Amino acid sequence: MKRLSKTKRGFTLLEIIMVIAIIIILASAVAISANDILNNAHAGRDSVSERLVTERAGISASEQKLSQYGF
């Protein structure tokens, strides 16, 4: 088995810090995207609820009209 020379023993501190910095940048980008996705999902749920209430009101109005004509 070949021994490594003294100059090639592992990673330097600078290399490790750079990798950690890149990981932090990527994690923050993912966190920001996840936050935007969650905010859009919450807003979408509210609009779905509003549409459901509107549709139910429309159905009730249609049922009243149909009952006036004997259906």
> Domain total for the chain?
1
Alpha-carbon distance of 31 to 24, in angstroms, equals 10
pTM of the predicted model as reported, rounded to 2 decimal places: 0.48
Task: Show contacts of 26-31: CB within 8 Å, 24+ apart.
Answer: none
Query: Quick one: DSSP state of residue 7?
Result: T
Position 22 in a domain = no
Residue 65 has, within 13 A of its CA and on its CB side, a CA count of 6
Does a structural domain hold residue 31? Answer: yes
6 within some domain: no
Question: Is residue 7 a part of any domain in this protein?
Answer: no
Whether residue 30 is predicted with pLDDT greater than 70 in this model: the reply is: yes
Domain that holds residue 50: 27-65
The answer to whether residue 20 is domain-embedded is: no
- Average pLDDT of 56-63? 89
The pLDDT of residue 46 is above 80 = no
- 39 within domain boundaries: yes
Kindly tell me if the per-residue pLDDT of 39 is higher than 90. no
pLDDT of 17 > 90? The answer is yes
- Whole-number Å distance between alpha carbons of 49 and 63: 21
